Amino acid sequence: MTYTLGLLGLGTVGTGVVQILQTPHQRHPLLKDIKLKRVGVRSPDKPRDVQLDPACLTSDLESIVTDPDIQIVVEVLGGLEPSRTLILNAIAQGKHVVTANKAVIARYGEEIFAAAAEAGVYVLLEAAVGGGIPVLQPLKQCLGGNRIKRITGIVNGTTNFILSQMSQTQANFGDVLTIAQERGYAEADPSADVDGEDAADKIAILASIAFGEQVDRESVFCEGIRAITADDIRYADEWSFVVKLLAIASRCPDNPDELDLRVHPTLLPREHPLAGVNQVDNAVLIEGEPIGQVMFFGPGAGRGPTASAVVSDILNVAAALTTGVKLANPLLSSSYPRHASVKAIDAVSQRYYARILAADMPGVLGAIGHSFGDCGVSLESIVQKDRAGDTAEIVVLTHDVSERKFQQALTLIRSHPSISKVATVLRVLPEGTNS
């Protein structure tokens, strides 16, 4: 039996999908039954890395989702629109959808999956999180009998490359970002990656699956890596930490009906399983009961890895259509009627690191210490580090304290006449998340 495919987008991922479909030898036998009929592109005359019949290409994307001969629509355009509208139109036409679009799913997943449930079609999205790492299906199926406690992930290859290079070369953020762009690891506009938005999309999707609740993407606290310097990474190393952009989703120990969802650069103990994940690799550490810890590791982005996940979903749809056996829990919203209650970031407690620039004069360390103490912040360490002219760097590591109290202390410190600025604030991985 032949299954006809329409592909929306022929960029990096779309090209990888076509290359796999065109070389089915020694791959899954169902691949020979997948026929690529139409490919939607913005510029049909643009040179391509794959050979396709020119008649296959079209700039009329709507014609693909309405083509009665196409059974499966693959969306790898990226961005919110027209992707969202095309996905919904494909579902309305009774077509199954495979997408790698984490931004659309994170923001409009409830609408999309409700439409898919009503139409009786599949929407699969393994490539939306972790690139080539199979994590969504294992989370839904293989780990389905577990009570998931926490997910901690390095889920953005661009930021992981930047932080890894900063650690290895002692270069600053701007210089390493330029290298990442030259190597194709970062976009010309890297904002979605370096500001944490991409990782927040992904943790919203993971949390929905792990905890069985609809997650409002805007409820995920999000902070990026632009403010981190080589000095911060060096000081962290002196305390046996590495710096990683982590996406964290967990049930709050004090209120299991509440979720803690956040993305931010984090000081991670060197012995933690995620500490050795470097360069463009991704990893997702899942903690559950009774299984304990399971980590999924591998290439999190790029043509081959992401295309691998897309084609896996295509094969899953084809297998379901061939056998008549429904996929297990393919529609996220069908069993997730409850909207997640998310704990406000200012109510979260953990340890903190801060790098403060201050006048190099007597009494400054004491003033900073008193400001923290007045706000109920207990300090594990306060050290004066490098000095440039009349300015000294003071580095602070706290014990566990609420975000609210910590920020109150920083406000008080900023008001002190000897303080130039609070240059960097980093959170330390919460207790209980180490191996």
Residues acting as catalytic residues: 202
**Alpha carbon separation from 64 to 72, 74, 95, 427 (Å, rounded):** 10, 10, 11, 47
With beta carbons less than 8 A apart as the criterion, state whether 355 and 395 touch.
Answer: yes
With beta carbons less than 8 A apart as the criterion, state whether 355 and 394 touch.
Answer: yes
Residue type, 91: I
Cα gap 301→132, rounded to integer Å: 7
Nearest to 154 by CA among 271, 268, 308, 76: 268
Neighbours of 351 (CB within 10 A): 19
Residue 152 phi, psi dihedral angles, 5° rounding: -125, 125
End-to-end CA distance of the chain: 48
Cα gap 282→272, rounded to integer Å: 15
Kind of pairing between the strands at 281-289 and 292-299: antiparallel
